[in-house]
Amino acid sequence: MSYTIPDKERVLVEKCQQHDRGAQKQLFLNYKDAMYTILLRMLNDTEEATDALQESFINVFNSIKSYSFQSSIGAWIKTITVRKGIEFQRKSSRLNTVQMDVVTDGPVVWPDHLTAESLELALSKLTPGYRTVFLLVEVEGYSHKEVAEMLGISDGTSKSQLFHAKKSLQKLLEGYQYG
């Protein structure tokens, strides 16, 4: 299945490929908020998320000539951003994913009155490994195979990390007051 890039987006990318500063600024403005949100969720630190965002866009502009219009520019930027977030986690030695088999104790039951605020707070309390796998699979839509490749772990470990992340979230959310 091929992706058809909208004309306006194609022109913007082509200008970026020609090092047009105005186009680069526009591309940054178009995607900075979404990419910052991904990084903040992954890194759980505003300063690191800001630094990672800056480095992500440096990578974007340094490698934009290799963008082949096979996917949306947003998806391409997101891939670079997620990899930069993983790199930052590794630098700080916070990304600990333990090789383990999948555990299937049953389904996770979410509280009836789950709010976005309580979920964000609970996510921020997960270990970096659990949080990263949860965000990449459940929020960003990556497959376990893709996550395993990005993190250098097995598919089974990705699945296990997700399962344990959900169980941890469930326990954290049970403790929050609603209403």
Q: DSSP of the chain, one letter per residue?
A: ------HHHHHHHHHHHTT-HHHHHHHHHHHHHHHHHHHHHHH--HHHHHHHHHHHHHHHHHHGGG--SSS-HHHHHHHHHHHHHHHHHHHTT------------------TT--HHHHHHHHHHS-HHHHHHHIIIIIS---HHHHHHHHT--HHHHHHHHHHHHHHHHHHHHTS---
Tens-place pLDDT, residues 58-111: 999 999 999 999 889 999 999 999 999 999 988 876 555 444 444 444 555 666
For residue 171, the model assigns a pLDDT of 87
Say which range, 36-50, 73-87, 115-129, 135-149, has the weakest mean pLDDT: 115-129
**φ, ψ (nearest 5 deg) of residue 27:** -60, -45
For the beta carbon of residue 10, count every other beta carbon within 10 angstroms.
Answer: 13
> How confident is the model at residue 98, as a pLDDT?
46
pLDDT band at 116 (very low <50, low <70, confident <90, very high): confident
pLDDT class for 39, splitting at 50, 70, 90?
very high
Residue with tokens 């089974």: 156
Residue 87 near residue 37 (C-beta atoms within 8 A): no
What's the residue count for the chain? 179
Q: How many CB atoms neighbour CB 178 within 10 A?
A: 10
pLDDT of residue 175: 75
Q: What is the mean pLDDT of residues 34-63?
A: 95
Cα–Cα distance between 149 and 56 in angstroms, integer?
19
Please give the pLDDT value at position 55.
97
Delineate the domains of the chain, giving CATH numbers in brackets. 7-91 (1.10.1740.10), 95-179 (1.10.10.10)
Token pair recorded at residue 8: 């306006």
The mean pLDDT of the chain is 86
